[in-house]
Structure 1
């Protein structure tokens, strides 16, 4: 998202500055200042502090992530790792090659992750839900193990078309869950195919997302819009110089600079595993793809896309979200006639990780409230008297006061395992 790309660039520059300072101090400390005695001997006057300081800065450049993570987060929480389950590589509806996993039994939830991440970000959520639902997760094209079409570029229209294909292939009404750009992808699908909402799609859950160009709903968005031409040019340059951008990303990862930038997307409850996982994914995914995706977001809008959604919509927003401010969630809920809004105090953009109990409880409650119809193979799609899944307008706005404690074969066409 545009907000986090700015501190990532600034912290990356700081990381390179520290590295160059380390190398300069080591070189100057070793070389010293040469002088010639009366006898013609060359004497080098070395300053040990330069060597020691340079060594310390060099150590920070390659090992800084350990103290950064330790000092800025808390221990504990659910362990989270970038570990894959059993998945398949499929041909997407728009020409992408998609990596898809499915596990669990029951009604189907299809999850769409945020930008710069991949489907492993849902690992903790899946562990809690797979005993009650069939979970389908996938990597967005260009990220994780999914690949863009030949000559294709990452944008919301492409993602929405691939999502449409996945939804249709399930063969039964499902619930869509999207975080950040995942929620934007769902809204793009609603804008282009509103008839699917209330037919193939029984319900929608949007987590920490927006309805328009993210620079309009983020903190300091006015600065980004003022520098819009420069920002877009910088993103294009990042894509053109991807090898150098990747080198910079890994150097920032090792020094902990990338962790500091990503820490801005978390609230006070972030754990060490969570910050490490998010930073690892953002580093190993192609920086050129991420840059072009952010560039495409800056020209995107789906305001009012869910106005015609004929199914319940649950919008969950973090009250301290810096990336997609709570006002964005409020706007989405206000423009979707069958939407509820849940405000989560203390939740930043990655609230579904650090306050997972709250999000899990709300997801479970929402899914339990749906009058799940039989799959179309058993009977035709049925509608309620209100004309869609569930009861008539049940709009509500809630605020969480405290966190709560709380496989069938797919008709996908496979191109290999």
Structure 2
């Protein structure tokens, strides 16, 4: 355990990769990446506050605090620099950390994120209300949309279970997303960025990383064919190949 009861795992040796999961899930979403990359990297996975095996505090459920937690983890482990690989809102955390502390980040890999949801029509207030009133039913209706058609129901059910096990206070991230837009800051980003995005993502359409990549100097975009919002789980072999290529 770590500061603020953060659960993390630290395996392997070599250049450091720090994986950040998306809203409500846990570091287990990266299980298909660990055997591939621990062979030649030092791989850190963390359940950010409110999720997985970390503490579920009522406070600090915002981007700034999660970024501070992540930086604190790097400090505690005496890691000077790392590649940050973030999924969905995890890509937002990685991007914001790179903007604020470019000396600590060698590259950002944004997996199906970050987004500017109000501009893409996501009904965030309605979603937050549904989670408050009937969490299980809202997740049953929403989470299947994260995945491409034909995805195993077991994977969808497992994702829902992870979110149900997370603290309800993480819903504050959904409301905060209502004012988040990285586009004005991206041209000043001093860290290389690689966008890896599912072709069929219905949560964050492909136009989002295309726009973001156009704003960051020398950014790249790799599309994972046949995948929705979670390519690291839906198409792990293709995702791992894409990640290794950008590394």
TM norm structure 2: 0.88
Gaps of 5+ in 1: 1-88, 368-417
**Contact kept in structure 1, 2:187 and 2:217, CA below 8 Å:** yes
1:375 matched to which residue of 2? none
1:201 matched to which residue of 2? 105
Query: Quick check: 1:161 aligned with 2:68?
Result: yes
1:113 matched to which residue of 2? 21
User: 1:289–1:103: structure 2 CA closer, same or farther, 3 Å change rule?
Assistant: same
1:313 matched to which residue of 2? 193
Separation of aligned partners in 2, 1:142 and 1:351: 23
Separation of aligned partners in 1, 2:65 and 2:164: 23
Query: Quick check: 1:284 aligned with 2:196?
Result: no
Deviation at residue 355 of structure 1 after TM alignment = 1.1
**Contact kept in structure 1, 2:87 and 2:110, CA below 8 Å:** yes
User: 1:260–1:313: structure 2 CA closer, same or farther, 3 Å change rule?
Assistant: same
Query: Quick check: 1:350 aligned with 2:226?
Result: no
Query: Quick check: 1:340 aligned with 2:220?
Result: yes
Separation of aligned partners in 1, 2:177 and 2:115: 10
Separation of aligned partners in 1, 2:56 and 2:114: 24
Q: Which residue of 39, 47, 53 maps to 1:145? A: 53
Query: Quick check: 1:301 aligned with 2:165?
Result: no
2:156 matched to which residue of 1? 275
User: 1:164–1:201: structure 2 CA closer, same or farther, 3 Å change rule?
Assistant: same
User: 1:258–1:294: structure 2 CA closer, same or farther, 3 Å change rule?
Assistant: closer
- Residues 33-72 of structure 1 mapped to structure 2, 5 A cutoff: none
Separation of aligned partners in 2, 1:232 and 1:353: 24
User: 1:356–1:258: structure 2 CA closer, same or farther, 3 Å change rule?
Assistant: same
Give per-residue Cα distances to partners, 1:83-128, cap 9 Å, x unaligned: xxxxxx111xxxx321111112221100000001011111111122
Deviation at residue 145 of structure 1 after TM alignment = 2.1
User: 1:337–1:282: structure 2 CA closer, same or farther, 3 Å change rule?
Assistant: same
Separation of aligned partners in 1, 2:214 and 2:160: 33
Deviation at residue 258 of structure 1 after TM alignment = 4.7
Deviant stretches of 4+, over 4 Å: 257-260
Separation of aligned partners in 1, 2:170 and 2:56: 12
2:143 matched to which residue of 1? 262
**Contact kept in structure 2, 1:187 and 1:211, CA below 8 Å:** no
Separation of aligned partners in 2, 1:277 and 1:132: 29
Separation of aligned partners in 1, 2:158 and 2:231: 14
Query: Quick check: 1:186 aligned with 2:94?
Result: yes
**Contact kept in structure 2, 1:190 and 1:306, CA below 8 Å:** no
Query: Quick check: 1:90 aligned with 2:30?
Result: no
Deviation at residue 148 of structure 1 after TM alignment = 5.1
Gaps of 5+ in 2: none
Alignment length (residue pairs): 246
Deviation at residue 344 of structure 1 after TM alignment = 2.5
Separation of aligned partners in 2, 1:104 and 1:275: 30
Root mean square deviation, CA, Å: 2.4
